[in-house]
Amino acid sequence: MLEVEDVKAKVVAIASKPARSSRILENGCILSVGTENLLALLRDGGPQPTASLGDLVNSSRSKAMQDLAELESLGLVTRGGKAPSRGGRRSTIVSLSDSLRYVGVDVGATSVSVAVTGGYLNVLQYAEEESDVRSGPVAILDQVERMIREAFGVASGPLPAAGVGLGLPSPVSFSTGRPVAPPLMPGWDNYPARDELAARLGTAVTVDNDVNIMALGEKHSGIARSQDDFLFVKLGTGVGCGIVVEGEIYRGRDGCAGDIGHIRAGDPTISCHCGRTGCLEAQVGGHALARAAILGAQSGESPRLEARLREQGRLTAMDISRANEFGDPFANRTIRRSGQVLGEALAGIVNFFNPALIVLGGGVSGFGQLLLAELRSVVLDRSTPLATSGLQLELSTARERAGVIGAAWLASDTFLRHATNAPAALPASAG
Ligand SMILES: [Zn+2]
């Protein structure tokens, strides 16, 4: 559970945003802004004593009680159990309904992960399968729909969930839920992913870029939990950066903010699939590292990678990581070189953005502390002292679940803000 002061600061921040008007649900119920804050408080801070609710959402006790009654009548929250006494009468605990469900989906270049969560975004079920995003949107959404329906045990009809969040490895127009000019993803450009999946599942769908959802997941349940200004750098097949400003994702005008993979750093002569040379992704992305591993194996520089290549017939970035654990000098050099190139790119970004924290996640972050140490030394060396004086550089602690938890967070955010199908989202049968 969050400290009361943290929660309070967070909710005051939400409450101080330009007020959104009350919303009318499809069944005629009205979900007011106060109830939205109360739901966000419970989601992010866990169950709370009724006596503290007014303080926590920065409203009067009577208004908080009115909002609470509204949410109770919609079946979204329950009262039960007693909080520890603070001297007077013991207060009742308010919790989110046990039957509230969200779905988080993380589509990567080579895999699909699906999580079903409860109202606090606690993962109840998790599944991951291999896939190839280049097989196109219809094949991928078929797979996503099947995995979600299997998780709920519902073969057809509307899904008993309050919403689905979907992350795609592409710039995304957040307002339309469509990918925008994704490189190397035939058929996806401007595809109506949000509306298509919503029609298939009969529930609200929210789509965002995969790195943005990882940043949100890290903020909800990882090392960025108490941070409002940070960067989440994903090192995977692609390289990208989620930008969190004052607690919210910054997406830019076209949804491509943080697309740092094609920043120039390191060796300016290396050619990239984008047609230019010297791109970050062409040196520290998953494909580039797999190629480096094969070169190391074939040149005889790394006997360990050579043996591994003979065994498996292929190599990935993770094989470099394993070889390094066995003291392989080539692997060690390759990881340190990656840290240097990444550090070069991030140093300028640190000067520009002055983040409190940079989190490294994605498959290649399995290079771990060695990568981080190299990265840290380059960033500290090249950024201004003021920009780095309070800067933390850390590995993701939400790890491979950052994406699905963040996607579920996005689904909950849409639900809280719009709640157009609240009662329908809570059937008695929801597992
Ligand atoms: Zn490029």
Crossing angle between the packed helical segments 402-418 and 210-221, to the nearest 10 degrees:
90
* pLDDT for 426 beyond 60: no
Neighbours of 412 (CB within 10 A): 27
* pLDDT for 268 beyond 60: yes
Q: How far is the CA of 260 from the centre of ligand 1 (A)?
A: 9
pLDDT score, position 199 = 97
Q: How far is the CA of 119 from the centre of ligand 1 (A)?
A: 40
Give 132's pLDDT tier (boundaries 50, 70, 90).
very high
Give dist(CA 318, CA 338) in Å, integer: 13
Q: How far is the CA of 310 from the centre of ligand 1 (A)?
A: 31
* Beta carbons of 419 and 31 less than 8 angstroms apart: yes
pLDDT score, position 64 = 86
* pLDDT for 323 beyond 80: yes
Average pLDDT over residues 66-79: 89
Burial label for 13, CB within 10 Å (0-12, 13-18, 19+), is middle
* pLDDT for 14 beyond 70: no
Just give the CATH number of 225-397: 3.30.420.40
Q: How far is the CA of 266 from the centre of ligand 1 (A)?
A: 13
Q: How far is the CA of 252 from the centre of ligand 1 (A)?
A: 20
pLDDT score, position 86 = 65
Give 212's pLDDT tier (boundaries 50, 70, 90).
very high
* Beta carbons of 259 and 386 less than 8 angstroms apart: no
Q: How far is the CA of 331 from the centre of ligand 1 (A)?
A: 24
Average pLDDT over residues 206-223: 97
Q: How far is the CA of 203 from the centre of ligand 1 (A)?
A: 37
pLDDT score, position 60 = 82
Give dist(CA 128, CA 126) in Å, integer: 7
pLDDT score, position 396 = 96
Domain 102-216+402-425 CATH superfamily? ATPase, nucleotide binding domain (3.30.420.40)
pLDDT score, position 420 = 33
Over pLDDT 70: what percentage of the chain?
88
Average pLDDT, the chain: 88
Half-sphere exposure of 160 (CA within 13 A, CB side): 16
pLDDT digits (tens, 9 = 90+) for 143-182: 999 999 999 999 999 999 999 999 999 999 999 999 998 8
The topology under which CATH files domain 4-96 is: Arc Repressor Mutant, subunit A (1.10.10)
Q: How far is the CA of 273 from the centre of ligand 1 (A)?
A: 6
| Predicted TM-score of the model (pTM) | 0.88
- Least reliable range by pLDDT among 25-39, 68-82, 369-383: 25-39
Residue 264 pairs in a beta bridge with 279
Q: Where are the domains of the chain?
A: 4-96, 102-216+402-425, 225-397
Q: How far is the CA of 182 from the centre of ligand 1 (A)?
A: 13
Q: How far is the CA of 213 from the centre of ligand 1 (A)?
A: 23
Backbone angles phi, psi at 295, to 5 degrees: -60, -45
Domains 102-216+402-425 and 225-397 share a fold: yes
pLDDT digits (tens, 9 = 90+) for 249-267: 999 988 889 999 999 999 9
Give 16's pLDDT tier (boundaries 50, 70, 90).
very low
Q: How far is the CA of 106 from the centre of ligand 1 (A)?
A: 23
Type of residue found at 281: E
Average pLDDT over residues 308-334: 96
Q: Which residues surround ligand 1, an ion (CB under 5 A)?
A: 262, 272, 274, 276, 279
* pLDDT for 21 beyond 70: no
Q: How far is the CA of 184 from the centre of ligand 1 (A)?
A: 12
* Beta carbons of 268 and 318 less than 8 angstroms apart: no
* pLDDT for 22 beyond 60: no
Tokens describing residue 48? 């709370």
Q: How far is the CA of 270 from the centre of ligand 1 (A)?
A: 10
pLDDT score, position 6 = 52
* pLDDT for 288 beyond 90: yes
